[in-house]
């Protein structure tokens, strides 16, 4: 209840949460106490956690940042929530996010923008801005989040905390409201890599209810935290450190890499030659999948239904017109267009081919290094409203994060210093498939 008081106190200033429900939280806390009293407590029993409002949780309103789901109370738990609850974690509330996870600044939430705890004129990043802001402001020791095109790593970087996007398929997507299913992946945001490892130990694991969930042996993601970094080869992709990267971010990353060298790592230059194609490929594939996934919000099965309509089509139209915000509509239209007859080959199929080439670039890169260092974003957090009516500018800021999702790779962002206006800078480390333990190890040694 200390955390609940802090959340209430900060809500006006930060707006990091969409729903807080004292009764539900205290009931979970009592259960945790009871299992402790019965001698059944695990490592994390009773530890509070905040869930991104994209994960269905039984009895909790699950809005996904949309007016469409304003009154939707989930009848079941997402795989991730189920695992957290089984580990004894206590849900503090539901964190704010861009509507249907579409955005890079949290300004697309139907429940208002979130402010960055380091500087309230700045955005917290997105789409998991509420989770990152909540952890940064110590309103929760850890939070769940999702990353379709950077939404764990970029807000973690903007808010000076640590966020891990696992290999695609490591964390169950069951009960996670779908944005772009072939890219979506859940993961933790916490203060440190060590806490992210503990969280991933809970979140990861096979789930038969998600057909892309991977069957793999249980891993202890904390196991390598204390390994020395001697001999670790860190690749610096030329294309990530050229024009377009702000000088303050470049400087903070340079000094972080100097620190890594002191820890025994070796920094080598590599090339990811097709990096610039990541933005067009992603902004074709993600909207295409979204247009299909979001067709279920039709005013019939769940979600908002218009109050007045003449016939079924009119009901669909009005419900969707009223329930979705502008960015979501833009993505649905783009997605329907690139999938439509006559344009499919030119856009969607082309984007899928580019996706394959980007994966090949990463594999070639990993021939020369163990992990790849990259900025999480080209600048520090920008001002609220700064890119509000310029979607292209917002998309361009995703350049360093999208490739990881298109290739299905794991990536971690951890704080390395401060840039302009004292706003945090995060370093992103990208690993090959299933190298989460190594990424956590590197970030932990740095921290």
Site of interaction with ligand GLN (CB under 6 A)? 101-104, 127, 147-151, 179, 286, 398
**Residue 307 C-beta: closest distance to ligand GLN, Å:** 30
Distances (CA, A) of 58 to 179, 187, 191: 20, 20, 27
Chain centroid to Cα 22, Å, comes to 26
Nearer to ligand GLN, 149 or 303 (CB): 149
Is residue 222 among the annotated active site residues? no
Residues 418, 433: Cα–Cα separation, whole Å: 30
Q: How far is the CB of 221 from ligand GLN (least distance, A)?
A: 21
Q: Which is closer to ligand GLN, CB of 148 or CB of 428?
A: 148
* Bridge partners, residue 385, by sequence: none
C-alpha span between 142 and 131 (Å, rounded): 8
How, if at all, do strands 90-95 and 48-52 pair? parallel
Q: How far is the CB of 282 from ligand GLN (least distance, A)?
A: 7
Q: Is 359 a catalytic residue?
A: no
Residue 21 or 327: which CB sits closer to ligand GLN? Answer: 327
Measure the CA–CA gap between 376 and 417, rounded to whole angstroms: 13
Q: Residue 25 or residue 154: which is nearer to ligand GLN going by CB?
A: 154
* Cα–Cα separations (whole angstroms), residue 397 to 23, 276, 376, 428: 40, 12, 9, 14
Q: How far apart are CA 126 and CA 114, in angstroms?
A: 9
From 127, 213, 222, 291, the catalytic residue: 127
* Shortest reach from residue 188's CB to ligand GLN, in Å: 15
Cβ nearer to ligand GLN, comparing 27 with 339: 339
CB 350: neighbour CB atoms within 10 A?
16
Q: Check 109, 128, 131, 151 and give the catalytic one.
A: 151
Q: Which is nearer to ligand GLN, 96 or 151 (CB)?
A: 151
CB of 55: closest distance to ligand GLN in angstroms? 13
Q: Given the complex with ligand GLN, which of 100 and 260 has the nearer CB atom? A: 100
Cα separations in angstroms, 243 against 276, 355, 379, 382: 12, 23, 12, 18
Q: Which two tokens stand for residue 109?
A: 């939430």
Indicate the residue among 127 and 445 with the shorter CB distance to ligand GLN: 127
* Tokens standing for residue 242: 């050229």
CB of 146 to ligand GLN, least distance (A): 6
Q: How far is the CB of 32 from ligand GLN (least distance, A)?
A: 31
Q: How far is the CB of 77 from ligand GLN (least distance, A)?
A: 21
Active site residue 127: yes
Active site residues: 52, 127, 151
């Amino acid at each position: 209840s200390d955390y609940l008081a802090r959340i209430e106190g900060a809500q006006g200033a930060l707006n990091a949460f969409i729903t807080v429900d004292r009764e539900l939280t205290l009931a979970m806390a009592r259960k945790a106490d009871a299992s402790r009293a019965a001698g059944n407590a695990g490592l994390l029993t009773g530890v509070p956690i905040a869930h991104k409002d994209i994960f269905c949780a039984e009895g909790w309103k699950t809005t996904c940042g949309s007016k469409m789901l304003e009154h939707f109370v989930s009848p079941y738990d997402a795989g991730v929530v189920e695992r957290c609850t089984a580990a004894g974690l206590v849900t503090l509330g539901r964190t704010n996010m861009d509507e249907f996870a579409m955005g890079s600044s949290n300004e697309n939430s139907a429940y208002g923008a979130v402010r960055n705890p380091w500087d309230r004129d700045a955005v917290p990043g997105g789409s998991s801005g509420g989770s990152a802001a909540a952890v940064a402001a110590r309103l929760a020791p850890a939070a769940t989040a999702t990353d379709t095109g950077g939404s764990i790593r970029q807000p973690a970087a903007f808010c000076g905390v640590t966020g891990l996007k696992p290999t695609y398929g490591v964390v169950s997507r069951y009960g996670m409201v779908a944005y772009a299913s072939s890219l979506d992946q859940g993961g933790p945001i916490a203060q440190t890599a060590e806490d992210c490892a503990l969280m991933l130990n809970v979140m990861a694991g096979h789930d038969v209810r998600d057909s892309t969930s991977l069957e793999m042996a249980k891993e202890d993601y904390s196991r390598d935290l204390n390994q020395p970094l001697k001999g670790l080869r860190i690749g610096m992709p030329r294309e990530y450190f050229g024009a377009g990267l702000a000088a303050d971010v470049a400087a903070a990353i340079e000094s972080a890499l100097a620190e890594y060298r002191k820890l025994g790592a070796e920094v080598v230059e590599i090339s990811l030659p097709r990096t610039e194609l990541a933005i067009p490929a992603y902004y074709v594939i993600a909207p295409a999948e979204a247009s299909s996934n979001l067709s279920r919000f039709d005013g019939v099965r769940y979600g908002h239904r218009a109050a007045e309509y003449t016939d079924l089509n009119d009901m669909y139209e009005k419900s969707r017109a009223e329930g979705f915000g502008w960015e979501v509509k833009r993505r649905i239209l783009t997605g329907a267009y690139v999938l439509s007859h006559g344009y499919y080959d030119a856009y969607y199929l082309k984007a899928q081919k580019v996706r394959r080439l980007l994966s090949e670039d990463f594999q070639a890169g990993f021939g020369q290094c163990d992990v790849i260092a990259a900025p999480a974003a080209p600048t520090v957090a920008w001002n609220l409203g700064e890119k509000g009516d310029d979607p292209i500018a917002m998309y361009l800021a995703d350049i360093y994060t999208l490739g990881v999702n298109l290739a299905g790779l794991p990536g971690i962002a951890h704080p390395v210093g401060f840039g302009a206006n004292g706003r945090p800078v995060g370093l992103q480390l990208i690993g090959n498939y299933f190298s989460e333990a190594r990424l956590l190890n590197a970030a932990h040694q740095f921290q």
